[in-house]
Amino acid sequence: MDGRRKECVRISEALAIYEFDLRRTERAIVIRHGKGDKRRIVVVDEWAWTEIEFWLSVRSEIPPGALLPVIRGKLAGNEMKAPDVRRQLAALKKRTGLRRRIAPHQFRHGFAVEASREGIPLSSLQGQLGHARLDVTERYLRGIDLMERLAPIAGRRPPMTVIPSVFAQN
């Protein structure tokens, strides 16, 4: 990733996406078996969709199957499993010299923080992440300073409704 949009789907959900789950005209992805076996639709921005389209052009050289399959070897084309991704991240961590723990789920938290900073409403974020409860989504935003989260309130425009002032002269 180049510092752009992170991931909003769980790793198990991402690995279960097939090309027929992509809704190109809507820039949406159908998550057929989310947490609790719930179905939902996630929408991706233009940058992410461009990356998906590029991957699809490369993906055509791999045997048909999952959108994010095993790429090489006798299992090429088969669904990759979450432990495979975790193992690859651990190897990447070692090669880059990172000291902190890294796991696929951290990308979801990064996405939530970034989207919140961009002004995405909490309820929209909840649906995108597939959370049944708003408090779970809110926990993802613990990385944002409280004053940063409250700053948009100070910048609000005046209300559209005319409210008579108690100090108005009659």
How far from chain centre, in Å, is Cα 161?
36
Measured from the Cβ of residue 112, the count of other Cβ atoms closer than 10 Å reads 27
- The amino acid that residue 2 corresponds to is D
The strands making up 22-23's β-sheet, listed across from edge to edge, are 22-23, 28-31, 40-43
So where are the chain's domains?
11-149
The residue with greater pLDDT, 139 or 150, is 139
**Residues whose CB is less than 8 angstroms from the CB of residue 110 and which lie 6 or more positions away in sequence, other chains included:** 6
* Cβ contact 2:107 at 8 Å: no
Measured from the Cβ of residue 46, the count of other Cβ atoms closer than 10 Å reads 9
pTM strictly above 0.75: no
Is the pLDDT assigned to residue 80 strictly greater than 80? yes
Q: Closest Cα to residue 68, out of 57, 55, 86?
A: 55
Rg (CA), the chain: 21
Is the pLDDT assigned to residue 69 strictly greater than 70? yes
- CATH of region 11-149: 1.10.443.10
